[in-house]
Amino acid sequence: MSNTHIGLKEFYEIHTKLGAGEIILDVRGPEEYQEGHIAGAKNIPVNMVAHQASELKPLNKIYIHCKRGGRAKTAFEALKAQGLNNLVCIADAGMDQWIESGYPVEKN
């Protein structure tokens, strides 16, 4: 895999053009996700991602994000340890910066 970490701006530019088998993985808690998330993002809390590794492994690419970047890095490492090589971590940013940037947010 070429690029395992990308910045928020780069992710914003590609997030609406994801292909088949590509997902946005929001690893925040369910309450945080309900308050606002990126359209189409799948919510699996960071402490549950390793248990979902077999479900995620067949995907082409998984873009992992959280609130500020810390949990995304933890989830990235946990899934990498499970043998996944289809991961892209949105490092050093997350929903806080997404909202501050004025990017669109979906609420449930």
- Cβ atoms of 84 and 56 within 8 Å: the answer is yes
User: In angstroms, rounded to a whole number, what is the distance separating the alpha carbons of residues 22 and 31?
Assistant: 24
pLDDT above 70: residue 2: no
pTM (2 decimals)? 0.94
Contacts of 9 (CB under 8 A, 6+ apart): 101
Question: In this predicted model, what pLDDT tens digit does every residue of 8-58 receive, in sequence order?
Answer: 999 999 999 999 999 999 999 999 999 999 999 999 999 999 999 999 999
Question: In this predicted model, what pLDDT tens digit does every residue of 72-104 receive, in sequence order?
Answer: 999 999 999 999 999 999 988 999 999 999 999
Question: In this predicted model, what pLDDT tens digit does every residue of 26-37 receive, in sequence order?
Answer: 999 999 999 999
In the chain, what are the domains?
A: 5-100 (3.40.250.10)
What stretches of the chain show up as alpha helix (H) in DSSP? 8-14, 30-35, 53-56, 70-81, 95-100
Cite the active site residues.
Answer: 66
